[in-house]
Structure 1
Amino acid sequence: MKPPKFMYCDPDSVEEAVALKSRYGHDSLVLAGGQSLMPMLNMRLANPDVLIDINRVAALQQITRDGDVLEVGAGVRQSVLESDPAVAAAVPLLGLAIPFIGHIENRHRGTVGGSIAHADAAAELPCAAVTLDATVVLHGTAGRREVAARDFFEGFMTNCCTPDELVVAVRFPVTPAASGSAFVEHARRQGDFALAASAAVVALDAERRFTSVAVGVAGIAATPVRATVVQDRLIGQAATAENIAAAAAAIGDTVSSADDIHATGAYRKHLAVTVVKRAITAAVENAAAVERNGS
């Protein structure tokens, strides 16, 4: 299949890309990695008059650390984020989540900003961003603005960008050194979209009680879900299998996905509880390993 006809633009600066978005608005789409957009064009699920290719915008391809914040440019390839040791040291959850994105060929082309802007509720990077309290940086004709990841995703494949705005970066808080991170996903096949996935970042005190818990879930609602009901039940509690299982069970009440061709709503509720329980358990184990290694 071939895509519909469109006018192709390839700006080499953020300002030029923003000017194009401002000029063409809703009639334009942005091409980054193209791993989601190109199939949508070929299947006529998207039919823009103008395609704005941002691959030549070097300013969007940088990873920088400023104190306790890791800023990842929207054009950074997912495979770069997956393999960068500095990223793994600063925000371990990213390196754990990204291998679940499609296949390595997809990750060599797919970009961080593209995945975030696409706003697929089953995708790994949006889930990680919500879990980590990341901030999405947008640039439009009015300048730059920052939006908390949990506010950026507004609905099924819908974000809060105005017609003249681009996602230019994602800012991730650096994970405290004593924390443990984990990402667990269940899909029908390797590389398929998740039926349910969960990210977890936890910290424990000397008595193995939870001092902080961040849990995100993908694939169970129209947007990535921050599992505050699970977090609240664990803070101050001992990190036992019984406590984790009891807290994870609460996520079932937040599942809003109905039956579809991939799974029933009831099955997704079961999976949501399972992946949350496994993610928290793995994060606890990773936190203990970090403590044993003295880092």
Structure 2
Amino acid sequence: MDILLLIKAAVMGVVEGLTEFLPISSTGHLILAASLMDMPGERTKLFEVVIQTGAIMAIVSLYVERLWKTVLGLPRDRTAQRFAVNVVVGFLPAAVAGVLFIDIIKNVLFNPLVVALGFIVGGLVILWAERLQARGASSRVTDVDAVSWIDALKVGLIQCVALVPGVSRSGATIVGAMLVGFERKTATEFSFFLAIPMLFGAATYDIYKHHELLSSADVPMYAIGLLVSWASAWVCVRWLLRFVESHNLVPFAWYRIGFGLLILLTAQMGWVDWSSS
């Protein structure tokens, strides 16, 4: 058993769990972490996708009562039915776009300039959205059960922007929902629920396409990565929900802008290969 590899897997799990649901792009951080730990190659790329399921299981474990109640209520409960429809409607645009354009995204958009611009422009959009909130922009949606299918569709269409590397899926959905009229915490929770089918679907699709890269020898590495990703995401999500109740997203915006500049510097100096996906 390669202890060093297991340590690297644990570090990647921490990075995934801490960045997946914050509006700062897990992809960019995983690329940087893999580069710093000298973990190149297709196996690492597949590992990065698979450990997303650990982060998603943190959402499932935190909202298990809500999700189970929804499943049981689907035959007769209008609230459960509306919630399920909204998640599907919000999920479908990015899912379809991802399947149609994934090869173009990986082959064309994964370059330092695009990734850096994704971080920086995303940070500027967060600053703009928070300025609108500070000026008294109305937040008419204050509960996930009050979301209409039209609102869900709008957020789902905005989520497509997150297919651009560096934009951040959670960042696009949270800020997009705020711009549509969601209260900040409600936008954050809705982004969590949209993440469940989105990331499970992405992991399943990638495993299907690259199953030949899976090996029984890698089971310990995947197990450690998944477990650590789940634990760190569980802590992060609980913290984020408390944070957005009394704070805005401005610190994340400035962090994104700084990270985008770091990408440009490390790419220019040849320290990190940002063309990885």
TM surpasses 0.5: no
Kindly indicate which of the two structures has a greater share of residues assigned to helix.
2
- Specify the structure having the higher radius of gyration (Cα): 1
Larger relative contact order, structure 1 or 2 (CA cutoff 8 Å, min sep 6): 2
